[in-house]
């Protein structure tokens, strides 16, 4: 029966996503990667994604951008993103990664006004979680320019800023050991929501429909004919 099979398909999707959710939790509980470990494993996204990372380097503040219409705790504002340059050891090779630094409220009276964000100069330490590139919202047009943008993509920023960026980003988190906690940014990032409960809901709907169809079939094809034959 089609509806029964659709219910099992939803069950399998829920199991697949639960397995991935468990992997996210396991990754987050592993020890933090340093610059060298990150560099050695950057070709394997499954190894580094959702891992904590601790880096020391400098902000490329001239390339700071503000992603518009981003919410945190139900309030609209900006996500602040800045490239971060760090060195690996022992080769002292320089690499650059895009950091999603946090959220800040915007000025709704003057929508072109940028918030005053303190970016510590010189050598700083940051901690965070390895994440995919910043999520995209709806796009009103193609290429965007200026400090305030709706979306960004890493390949486009590489060309625009003449930088070689890693293929993923860092979600910066607060830490007593980090020296970049004085910027006033909010970092209450949402945990990845894979929608597992949605698949469970669809599964029960399909199975309930299967039970209804089976009940109707039993009534019209078996029970009712038997009753009529006795009359």
Domain positions in the chain: 1-26+195-231, 31-191
pLDDT digits (tens, 9 = 90+) for 177-223: 554 457 889 998 877 666 777 877 877 888 788 788 888 878 877 77
* pLDDT exceeds 80 at position 139: no
Q: Please state, in angstroms and as integers, the Cα–Cα distance from residue 152 to each residue in 72, 162, 171, following that order.
A: 19, 15, 15
Averaged pLDDT, 74-103: 89
pTM: 0.76
Which of the four pLDDT bands, split at 50, 70 and 90, describes residue 159?
A: very high
pLDDT digits (tens, 9 = 90+) for 43-55: 777 788 888 999 9
Averaged pLDDT, 54-78: 93
Q: CB–CB of 96/157 below 8 Å?
A: no
* 100 or 87: which leads in pLDDT: 100
* 179 or 156: which leads in pLDDT: 156
């Amino acid at each position: 029966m089609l509806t029964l099979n659709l219910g099992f398909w939803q069950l399998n999707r829920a199991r697949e996503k639960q397995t991935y959710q468990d992997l996210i939790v396991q990754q987050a509980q592993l020890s933090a990667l340093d610059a060298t470990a990150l560099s050695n494993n950057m070709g394997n996204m499954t190894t580094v994604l959702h891992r904590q990372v601790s880096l020391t380097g400098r902000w490329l503040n001239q390339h700071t951008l503000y992603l518009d219409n981003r919410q945190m705790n139900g309030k609209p504002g900006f996500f602040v993103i800045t490239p971060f340059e760090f060195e690996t050891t022992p080769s002292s090779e320089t690499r650059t990664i895009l950091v999603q630094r946090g959220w800040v409220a915007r000025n709704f009276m003057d929508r072109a006004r940028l918030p005053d964000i303190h970016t510590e100069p010189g050598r700083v330490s940051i901690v965070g979680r390895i994440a995919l590139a910043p999520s995209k919202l709806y796009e009103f047009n193609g290429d965007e320019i200026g400090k305030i943008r709706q979306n960004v993509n890493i390949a486009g920023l590489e060309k625009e800023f003449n930088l070689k960026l890693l293929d993923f980003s860092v979600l910066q988190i607060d830490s007593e050991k980090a020296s970049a906690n004085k910027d006033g940014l909010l970092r209450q990032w949402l945990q990845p929501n894979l929608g597992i409960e949605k698949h469970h809901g669809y599964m029960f709907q399909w199975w309930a429909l299967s039970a209804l169809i089976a009940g109707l079939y039993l009534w019209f094809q078996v029970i009712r004919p038997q009753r009529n034959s006795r009359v």
